[in-house]
Structure 1
């Protein structure tokens, strides 16, 4: 049995549902099938991702955290006082705290996240933990935000995009994001960004196929969300998580795969799935230092500083606004 929406949902909830429905129907109607990764992050999806970040196989979070712990004081020196810290896709803002602890004279912290429930809970906790910090959460898709609301004061801006989230974008999408961020952050802006580096494929495979099955639950939560919000009829036992490293493209590819021939209704439309058919949900591109620097150079930034862990697993870049963009 699927749950029904509230009798009188808020306009924002209606808009979010309409966007999700449109993306799901379009994605399942095309060949090959694909649904954008941002829809993985409802409240439960965000919680599952936080659990993924704690897994022993998932080296990304702990490695980036160590780097940020070491370089946060230097970032504070580079940025100077009175900045607005703008985080793209904030989640639980765990890594943000490393910057917040080092940058004690921020004008405001503005986390941007697509999950309103997760965003509000995080903002409330930050206000309690940092009583002198102004927190102005922004609910939305950071790939579509061109301006910040009036509640965010005018100040020099430092963007924060951790977690190698830029790897979830194709190179063209990554460049488009950087250009959008460049405009949002301004001519005197900067951006701190985490990037997963190319490495042994065995390490990558383990990171996205954890033994506890949390990543699988995260992928299949998209089906659960469609059942709940779009009156879909997916049998979760009939699908499996699949993730592998495409070495030629330099990316992890993630899908949910049909285990048998079956049909499912989504928002009143019937879809047939062949045994073994896959629906793409996510990429995670891996970069080397030179390739990423070239990407940045074409998007109005230059690499000012780079910090890399001792095992060369991960890099944190400090990008500086370089040239004016239209």
Structure 2
């Protein structure tokens, strides 16, 4: 059984039902997520890009930390839109470093290896295709230089706080004392602003969530009727958890892989995704609990987003 099928069946046979957000990103999902990021309501990408374009010199200076040579590793590099501003600044400042973009997409890694040295003259790129921690181990085998790790886009918010701490502790275990991490966090703010970002007026987020059912239909021979499910988003300002669900609009049954039958009651939900929001104090506490020391905070002009730099202690 392939892993996609195995994890879909595991999630939909669970109580309550869930699907893993990592499977959102097929070709159609990638396009829809781009539309979400471009939407008026979706602020996180814009806020972090502002940090990387207006505070580039200070970011570069802090991350270099006086080291002559180092490795700059980006977890989940994607198209490196934000980090490319930092890469350009480091080249201007004649920093001696190699950029290691890590991504699950083989084609994206190959694209970065080809295109970035053309865009940024003098940049050394060694792409790593695979899971974060396996590729961090590989980077350590390739080079023993000081490591600076980027984890942008509030990706740490894709898990609850307790799992975020486990992730950060594992990240710390792959690094040495004195290594640096730059971590992006979406901050708590007016609940209406947050909720609108995950429930945009044009319905891109709804389509993004429903697209996963379409992907399951296409790739796993399922027969979801996507018109019988609706998107629901909620934000709890007390916990900072923003969650997305798909709600079954009637009693129904869905066949997957031409064999497995999944039963839904009317109003039963599938948990799709969490996007955890933090206070600045919570990010400092997370750093300390995970074996890091907070060094510096970088905020956008609205103080909606935080890029914080941690040192391994």
Provide the secondary structure at the position in 2 that maps to 1:103: helix
* Post-superposition offset of 1:179: 1.6
| Structure 2 counterpart of 1:60 | 44
The match for 2:18 is 34
Matched, 1:201 2:182: no
Tell me which residue corresponds to 1:46.
30
CA RMSD of aligned residues (A): 2.1
Q: Is the 1:112–1:138 contact (alpha carbons within 8 Å) kept by the matching residues of 2?
A: yes
Q: For structure 2, list consecutive stretches of 5 or more residues without a partner in the other structure.
A: none
Which whole-Å CA distance do the structure 2 matches of 1:91 and 1:238 have between them? 33
Confirm or deny that 1:160 pairs with 2:144. Answer: no
- Helix, strand or coil for the counterpart of 1:202? helix
Question: Shift of residue 269 of structure 1?
Answer: 0.9
Q: Contact conserved, 1:50 with 1:92, CA < 8 A, in 2? A: no
Counterpart in 2 of 1:94?
Answer: 81
Shift of 1:245: 0.5
| Greater shift in the superposed pair: 139-148 or 77-86 | 139-148
Is there any run of 5+ residues in structure 1 with no aligned partner, and where? Answer: 1-16
For 2:240 and 2:196, the matched residues in 1 are separated by: 16
CA separation of 1:52 and 1:164: change in aligned 2, threshold 3 A: same
Please say if 1:282 is aligned against 2:269: no
Alignment correspondent of 2:302: 311
1:81-111 CA distance string (max 9 Å, x none): 4321111122221111121111113532222
Matched, 1:85 2:76: no
Return the TM-score normalized by structure 2. Answer: 0.90
Q: 1:152 to 1:223 in 2, by over 3 A?
A: farther
1:8 corresponds to: none
8 Å Cα contact 2:199-2:233 kept in structure 1: yes
Q: Secondary structure at the match of 1:148?
A: helix
| Closer/same/farther in 2, CA of residues 118 and 258 from structure 1, 3 Å limit | farther
Question: Taking structure 1 as the reference length, what is the TM-score of the superposition?
Answer: 0.86
Structure 1 counterpart SS, 2:77? coil
